[in-house]
């Protein structure tokens, strides 16, 4: 499964790459919203995890642009803030609070992967 990670912090990029590649995912990194848009089109990821506070584009605007291009691609917001009352985040499929413990992030990505397999095979992978 190919995963686009949109994250401006290089240390978090490294952590995500290391942990998620260890889980068997192909990781594509984008540091800005513009870079994310380019890589979303050229790399055609199966899922996206992104922060909402980007240096060049508002996260909500990037989210809308990605969903307009490929509305079926799951997008996970990874944030240090609670955005549950912000209606602009409703297009996210889910969100997790940033942490050095990536178990919740990995669990959500695994759910995306299982849903993707379900759609491809027509057989539910959920027990």
Q: What is the pTM of this model?
A: 0.83
Q: Domain with 45 in it: what CATH number? A: 3.40.50.2300
Is 76 a domain residue? yes
Is 126 a domain residue? no
Alpha-carbon gap, residue 111 to 67, rounded angstroms:
19
Q: Per-residue pLDDT tens for 34-92?
A: 999 999 999 999 999 999 889 999 888 999 999 999 999 999 988 776 655 555 555 67
Residues 6 or more apart from 90 whose CB is under 8 A from it?
Answer: none
Per the structure, how many domains does the chain have? Answer: 1
Distances (CA, A) of 109 to 55, 58, 71, 101: 25, 23, 17, 14
Domain with 73 in it: 2-121
Is 105 a domain residue? yes
* pLDDT above 60: residue 28: yes
Is 47 a domain residue? yes
Q: Per-residue pLDDT tens for 8-22?
A: 999 999 999 999 999
Structure tokens at 12: 């978090």
Is 127 a domain residue? no
Residue with tokens 């870079």: 35
Is 52 a domain residue? yes
Q: Per-residue pLDDT tens for 77-110?
A: 887 766 555 555 556 777 787 888 899 889 989 9
Is 39 a domain residue? yes
**Residues in a beta bridge with 94:** 76
């Amino acid at each position: 499964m190919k995963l686009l990670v949109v994250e401006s912090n290089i240390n978090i990029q490294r952590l995500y790459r290391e942990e998620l590649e260890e889980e068997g995912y192909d990781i594509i990194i984008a540091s800005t919203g513009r870079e994310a848009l380019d890589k979303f089109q050229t790399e055609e990821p199966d899922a996206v995890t992104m922060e909402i506070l980007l240096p060049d584009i508002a996260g909500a605007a990037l989210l809308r642009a990605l969903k307009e291009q490929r509305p079926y691609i799951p997008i996970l917001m990874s944030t240090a803030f609670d955005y549950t009352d912000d209606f602009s985040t409703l297009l996210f499929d889910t969100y997790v609070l940033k942490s050095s413990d990536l178990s919740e992030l990995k669990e959500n990505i695994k759910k995306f992967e299982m849903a993707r397999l379900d759609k491809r095979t027509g057989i539910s992978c959920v027990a």
